[in-house]
Chains A and B, each alone.
Chain A
């Protein structure tokens, strides 16, 4: 019965990582230079989940883990700004292909999922506490 706590916690950790990736994407929406200062737009990161068979309960439930953190393969947005210091030869600046609406909805989903897993932990705690009442 206590392994259900592990399963919910693995989900909490995974959703938190996903939220970190989303907040990084939103923060870097307009980043046109990479860490070395070269004119390279920020590539959005996406997190994929994977079933974690290391954390299993007796009934067959299993936990979740981060499968991979992938860089997006979408083309960067090109905007025509000839005066921009990072404009290319044609006057276009490459902006990261981050759609704020999509990212925000993902963030909402991740936070709701986090709350749902915390609710599951509450239910598990309730179960064990009620089991103890057999004795009392």
Chain B
């Protein structure tokens, strides 16, 4: 994903009232996070579950919130998603970097990259993959979801190796 695109994506979320961006960094989301840091809107805690907990607190305060993470962190978060976010129907946007999307990605990403779409499906967590073509509509889709008290996930493919 090009730099310009992630910046615009961040700013469109902001324009639509998302006030809290809490998460653990991923190089897949680097430009998104850099833009958020420049605007002093980012909180980086220690683990993904913790990030979700904080975002639940901001969301309970009627402040739109997003949690970002790698898919390794998404795997860490399964119980928090089922026993907190979904149990209480907390409207949160998850932004997840899809490591292991490329078959030649590093070995530690391969398994989770492969099972990630199925995990989202089993969790019944509505999700969409963001691309350079659909980012505006996907952004608005996610806003509509949380305005209807529904958590959802946005996935960014990792289309490079570093």
Q: Do A and B come from one complex?
A: no
